[in-house]
Amino acid sequence: MKGEDLMYDVAIIGGGPAGLSAGIYAARANLKTVIIERGLHGGQMQNTLDIENYPGFDTIEGPSLSELMYNQALKVGVEWKYGDVSGVDLEGQPKTLQLGDGILEARSVIIASGAKPRPLGVPGEAEFTGRGLSYCATCDGALFKGADVIVVGGGDSAIKEALLLTRYAQSVTVVHRRDALRAAGILRDRVFANPKIKFVWDSVVERVEGNARVSGVVIRNVKDDSTQMLAASGVFIYVGVDPVTSFLQGSPILDEKGYILAGSDMATTIPGVFAAGDVRATSLRQIVTAASDGAAAGLHAYEYLETL
């Protein structure tokens, strides 16, 4: 792979909304741009059925928005490469990215690798993943028609997926460690009005039970330490996300949680290296903010390259 013909002006790690937006802005600035993505274009948008807070659309399906962004990026000249970045050398020039089939070189790098669902880390979770336990109701909800399912979490993602699951499941029980939801007001209104959804407050999952497939979870009340078994055919977990930055292990641009430290210009402390989207240390992680980050990263990468 190594060679002048594969020397890019901008290499973007990640093809979600941040990476796609960065690619569009970089390519429109006439930069030789490549996006490296290990999964589907659109990232987590592919796992979201209905998006209701992206400007310009009352409601749009996540895969549809992913396709629109992806096609726009290709139209303006972004190159697309499927691959998994396993290591990097970001100091100096050129920057190098280690992929499964060799080395890719670029004069600047935008890291938009996003975040992945955080596991609970309890007994039975790993064993039953894909056997009744899931982190994506959009992907797997249709498998639980007429079933009783559990959703673990109380934020926007958990409540959106609980509402989605009512299209298929007989009942949805939301288990939340607090006594109030953290989800947005409009989502709280919808979930409390849905007769298929019930709540178990102040509780955490201690372990996942089952034989060949999930049969339920043992939960513990955090106030009185009592435990109980909740029977269910499916368990969906939404307790947060962790940044995808294992390829940056030990890098000075990471904070203590593994997120990338970058300023309002998306620049890190390494010249020519930028970060955008959910992988960045920021207080808000939404599709619209990821796209905004990507636009800023693409433009500031152009400005950086003009100084070389």
Residues acting as catalytic residues: 136, 139-140
Find where tokens 């006594």 sit: 179
Question: What is the Cα Rg of the chain in Å?
Answer: 21
Cβ-in-10-Å burial (0-12, 13-18, 19+) of 68 comes to middle
Sign of CA dihedral 261, 99, 119, 161: positive
Report the distance separating Cα 29 and Cα 19, nearest Å. 15
The C-alpha angle 146, 151, 152, rounded to 5 degrees, equals 160
The answer to whether 48 touches 62, Cβ cutoff 8 Å, is yes
SS3 of the chain: helix, strand, coil, percent, to 5: 30, 30, 40
